[in-house]
Structure 1
Amino acid sequence: MPEDDDRLHGDRDRFAVGESGASGLWDWDIIAGLLRTDEGFADLYGIDRAAARAGVDPKLFFSRIHADDRARLKIAVAGILSGAEIFSKEFRIVRPDGTVRWMLGRGQGHQNADDEPIRFTGKLVDVTERRRAQERLRIAQTAGGVGTFEHIDGFATVAVSAQFCRVLGLHPTDVLPVTTINAAVCSGEGALIPAGYSADRVPPADFRIRRGSDGAERWIARRGEAAVDDEGIGHRFIGVIYDVTEAKEAQAQLREWNETLESRVEEAIRERSRAEDALRQAQKMEAVGQLTGGIAHDFNNLLTVIIGNVETVGRRLDSHDDPRVRRALDNAAKGAARAAALTQRLLAFSRRQPLDPKPVEVGRLLMGMSDLLTRAINESIAVHVPASGDLPHIEVDPHQLENAILNLAVNARDAMTEGGSLTIQASSDSSKREIVITVTDTGCGMSAETMEKVFDPFFTTKEVGKGTGLGLSMVHGFVMQSGGRIAIDSELGKGTTITMAFPSLSITPDVQDKDVAGFVDHNGSGETIMVVEDDEDVRAYSVGLLRELGYRVIEATDGEAALRLLERADQHIDLLLTDVVMPAMSGRELADRARLLQGELRILFISGYPREEIAKNGRIEAGIDLLGKPFGFVALSEKVRQVLDRPLSSDRTDR
């Protein structure tokens, strides 16, 4: 077979395919039905070299082809057997050991004088590594979002990768028209594939494109080089494109930040200054609040003694006594009442006043205040309280709400020295689930500087002696303590509107009006009351009043002394009347321990500053009875009788 070997080796140069992998030659004698190969082909296919050189059944060629590629290879070979001349295909073979390799086969058909096929020769090259490299490149391009392209100057098409098409939002393909690629670039951005490039390097460029798949605008970068084509056709432009939208947006944001850096620094300084001012204000308010609580405790004890003794002397005076003494006592009582009101305002401002919240229908409360408001305002001022209709209820202390509205009305009156109009109305803001109360006047208004300080304690624009400067600060403290918010809108010469807003209740509570009771006898019937008060003067005053009312009274100076008395088996107590703030043991602690000794024991607390013992977040706990200091004869007698007459089942509360 030397002639056949020479023929195979003679075909090696003719079928050179520029691949570096292992290769082999084949010669298929169509007439004889034998396939002869060289050693290289035999090794690639995994068959015996001697048998391959002598000739094997052509079916062996197809038996090694991967099942997924076999059909198209048979079609291609059938073309050669039908007279075609050129063969070029890539396909996979499965070697005897099970490994799969990629092959590139290039061959030629030969015919006799009658154009009948007689031979099929060619070269087989192992291109597995090239295919793997291509796959790695494809994966890298997809993962990195990099699309590749290759264009020869003057040609109307561009060879592209699948990722190139994805970046532009086009259907994946191997070739795209230049016009299609450049049409994706937004107007005025230039050409992605330029014409007439001849330099060794094409300058890098960024383009704004509109993706074909979704119409989204994106930024892409183009990088590449131009080189002389190997075949001398012209310049070849080889490059890549990738999405740089995020980088462009970051650059734009950085430019904007740099351009606005100065203004942002100034705003940050202003914000810090505002925060420092707010912190100083909060610290000042906290300090004043703590001071207020301590003062209120001691001051209310003093006022209790003063008011109580003034009342006692007043009750002892006969109608024929010196009227000057009566006037003196009346003036003393008025002064004490003003002092008590001032103390209450201090507690309200510091948000330490005990609140007794109840469901309140604001519209109805305002209508009930109409006469009071009219009497408190000058005749030169028209007072309007429009009907508000049915509004959701709010949960506030009704007496403190009335005080707040009255304070605002009086302030408005003082701002309208030459007359005007005052409107107080309530409305519902369903979007915020709030009930809004507005107090609007047509008075002199306020400057911006005044509005910044208007809620500060002791700040006032009135003349010396005309006010304490606690009215608005008291209103502010009450609203905030009740879980609401307050705002002020004013301008010099154009009046003022103050807005109070409170959370509305989601359900309508069952609120029934209580009939106004007539005269009730508040005297005692010999019941035993224990009075526990560390202030000697307040204790003496309270004990004296209770004995005057007909009660049997036992007194104790503190909680420990009271417990020792309660532990005596022969000592039955109907009511424990105890101060809240006492040294060593608070009134609340005393009440809890006393009920362990005598379960059927009623408790009445007295205090001018209850703190957190019985008022959580400023609200008196359910089931707690409190008589605020300073108190007089009537208040004490009514409250004691009320607690004693109440059934024990309604007096108890789990704590």
Structure 2
Amino acid sequence: MKVLIVDDNEQNRYMLETLLRGEGHEVLSARDGVEALDLLKSSGAALIISDILMPRMDGFQLCRAVRNDARFKDVPFVIYTATYISDKDRDFALSLGADRFLVKPDEIELLGQTIKEVLAKKTSRVEPHPLGDEMEFFRQYNEILFRKLEKKVADLEAARQELQEQLLERNQREAERALLEEQLRQAQKMEAIGQLAGGVAHDFNNMLSAIVGYCTLAALNMKPDDPSRHYLEQILASADRASTLTQSLLAFSRKQAVNLERIDLNEAVSSFEKFLIRLLRENIELRLAIAEAELPVTADRGQIEQVLMNLIANARDAIREDGRIIIETSAAEIDDQFVRTHGFGQPDRYALLTVSDTGSGIPEDILSKIFDPFFTTKEEGKGTGLGLSMVFGIVKTHRGYIDVYSRKGMGTTFKIYLPIAQTPAKQAEKKVAEPPPLLGGTETILIAEDDDALRNVEVAALSRYGYTVIEAVDGVDAVARFTENRDRIRLVILDGIMPKMSGKEASEKIRALGPGTKVIFISGYADDTFSRAGISHKGETFLRKPISTSMLARKIRNMLDE
């Protein structure tokens, strides 16, 4: 049997051709209604299977043309469509004289059975469906086309919206990725500068220790009324200010020894108010808005105070005339939405410390640089550019986050998020006003220090206090000297970072040789190995450079007397 397939889709035609030829039918193919009519006229067909949506002449028009042609009006006509699939489409096709209406590809398995049924219908010479008049045809035809056009427009709009949502989602992902990449670059930059700052602080602390030590020794040899004593006092005062600078470097590099304890942020801020007021001019008002509920945090009180000092000093310098600074504490919660919006944080409960001012604000083009070390907009000699870098380093050391909001001419607000501690804060302990009297001794002490100037001043100072001092230039030398004099040495002083062998490694070997030996670690580069939490043995302690010879002597005497 000869079957005419009409479909503009080549893959659909191939599928039907293969299927029908497999059942022994002869197959003719056309790409639209015009081509199909030409084939009918030239070759004839016993069955027509036609799509609807085609160029030049669609399936509806082809069916109508076939039924209006006396030569072909009895040829069975099957509509096989994937586009026009509504009940109205089906009814209209059947009203034009189609014998069957099948939907692609759901009813492909019915095609063989349908062919048999329509051929049987032809044999029984069933009258074709009525076609209706010309105007009715065009009315229904246009209605179907209009409905299909509306559906296409709706589908295109839905596709457009979906594509727009996909583009927005992709742009959001790209923006988030760019933000993460920028945060990574910033973190890497800060880490590299932090390593440099920590190394500079270590070397600088060694030099300061030598300066302080020699000045102290010189002062001990002077009479109280010696006119040169004033000069030494000025040197020591300058060294003390330089020591503050190195602590700023260490805080920025996050290698400063941290004395963490449970404190109430409210109490820490309130008790520091009087000191902060001294930093301000008379035309600047300081206001505190302290939360009613306790805000326990695990923090180094001194470093929190340093954060406040630096932020208040910056706010003061930003206020040209009259102004106001507000310090506020409150509880805050960071959730997933906050993290997505701000680009930082871990979901948890936080104590929020907010410092805002009515100053000149920060220009938008430099806002991203304010935490960079040595970046400052102040006049030469009026700022080191380390203040906010130190704040950043301290906040990170406390596993916190810092954010800044500012507009030029409208002031600045810093928000610092510190994790809420799970246990209540302990009360601040009163400090001892007067140190105990300074006493020397006659014991033998081993000093290991790779910096010659610093080692010489420590040896000279401790010898003056009556101690017998054995010198070592590095960790390996210290172990060797201890091995030779283990029966005499009562206490060992070790620099933290030394060539060949670190102070920590040397102490382990020394303790293996003399288990009861007292050890003092001294370092200007206080990493976690030498923080107080890292002191693992009884009879060990840690001192941070620069340290005065009198303080060192007092610590030695206390440890020897324990």
TM-score (norm 2): 0.67
Amino acid at match of 1:614: F
Q: Is 1:365 aligned with 2:268? A: yes
Residues 609 and 251 of structure 1: CA distance in aligned 2, closer, same or farther (over 3 Å): farther
Residue 525 of structure 1 and its aligned partner are, at CA, apart by 3.6
5 Å matches for 1:590-629? 590-615=506-531, 620=534, 625-629=541-545
Residue 430 of structure 1 and its aligned partner are, at CA, apart by 5.7
The residue number in structure 2 matching 1:304 is 209
Amino acid at match of 1:194: D
CA distance in 2 between partners of 1:460 and 1:190 (Å): 76
Amino acid at match of 2:196: L
Q: Is 1:286 aligned with 2:198? A: no
Amino acid at match of 1:576: V
Residue 604 of structure 1 and its aligned partner are, at CA, apart by 1.1
Structure ranking higher on relative contact order (CA contacts 8 Å, 6+ apart): 2
Q: 2:548 aligns with which of 620, 627, 632?
A: 632
The structure with the largest strand share of the pair is: 1
Q: 2:377 aligns with which of 421, 439, 461?
A: 461
Quick check: 1:440–1:498 contact (8 Å CA) kept in 2? yes
Q: 2:243 aligns with which of 340, 362, 365?
A: 340
CA distance in 2 between partners of 1:359 and 1:527 (Å): 39
CA distance in 2 between partners of 1:262 and 1:309 (Å): 69
Q: 2:396 aligns with which of 465, 480, 494?
A: 480
CA distance in 2 between partners of 1:253 and 1:533 (Å): 75
Amino acid at match of 1:304: S
Q: Is 1:413 aligned with 2:316? A: yes
Identity of aligned residues (%): 34
Amino acid at match of 2:482: L
The residue number in structure 1 matching 2:421 is 505
The residue number in structure 1 matching 2:285 is 382
Residue 416 of structure 1 and its aligned partner are, at CA, apart by 1.1
Residues 261 and 513 of structure 1: CA distance in aligned 2, closer, same or farther (over 3 Å): closer
Quick check: 1:422–1:441 contact (8 Å CA) kept in 2? yes
Amino acid at match of 2:556: V
Q: Is 1:555 aligned with 2:452? A: no
Quick check: 2:266–2:295 contact (8 Å CA) kept in 1? no
The residue number in structure 2 matching 1:200 is 98
Amino acid at match of 2:527: R
Quick check: 1:567–1:597 contact (8 Å CA) kept in 2? yes
Residue 547 of structure 1 and its aligned partner are, at CA, apart by 2.7
Residue 289 of structure 1 and its aligned partner are, at CA, apart by 2.2
Q: Deviations along 1:373-432, whole A, 9 cap, x unmatched?
A: 111111211112334344242112221121111111111111112121112232223673
Residues 202 and 563 of structure 1: CA distance in aligned 2, closer, same or farther (over 3 Å): same
Residue 570 of structure 1 and its aligned partner are, at CA, apart by 6.0
Quick check: 2:197–2:252 contact (8 Å CA) kept in 1? no
* C-alpha RMSD of matched pairs (Å): 3.6
Q: Is 1:493 aligned with 2:409? A: yes
CA distance in 2 between partners of 1:526 and 1:440 (Å): 57
CA distance in 2 between partners of 1:500 and 1:276 (Å): 23
Amino acid at match of 2:514: Q
Residues 251 and 625 of structure 1: CA distance in aligned 2, closer, same or farther (over 3 Å): farther
Extract unaligned runs of 5+ from structure 1: 1-188, 207-219, 237-248, 647-655
The residue number in structure 2 matching 1:124 is none
Q: Deviations along 1:246-277, whole A, 9 cap, x unmatched?
A: xxx99988644655787777767766665554
Quick check: 1:393–1:508 contact (8 Å CA) kept in 2? yes
Residues 384 and 199 of structure 1: CA distance in aligned 2, closer, same or farther (over 3 Å): same
CA distance in 1 between partners of 2:96 and 2:420 (Å): 79
The structure with the largest helix share of the pair is: 2
The residue number in structure 2 matching 1:439 is 355
CA distance in 2 between partners of 1:353 and 1:199 (Å): 92
TM-score (norm 1): 0.59
Amino acid at match of 1:588: K
Quick check: 2:445–2:493 contact (8 Å CA) kept in 1? yes
Q: 1:571 aligns with which of 446, 464, 487?
A: 487
CA distance in 1 between partners of 2:427 and 2:480 (Å): 43
5 Å matches for 1:181-192? 191=88
CA distance in 2 between partners of 1:320 and 1:460 (Å): 43
The residue number in structure 2 matching 1:400 is 303
The residue number in structure 2 matching 1:320 is 225
Quick check: 1:356–1:620 contact (8 Å CA) kept in 2? no
Residue 193 of structure 1 and its aligned partner are, at CA, apart by 5.8
Q: Deviations along 1:192-238, whole A, 9 cap, x unmatched?
A: 863653343778889xxxxxxxxxxxxx98999995983637669xx
Residues 603 and 328 of structure 1: CA distance in aligned 2, closer, same or farther (over 3 Å): same
CA distance in 2 between partners of 1:343 and 1:253 (Å): 63
Amino acid at match of 1:303: L
Secondary structure, counterpart of 1:489 in structure 2: strand
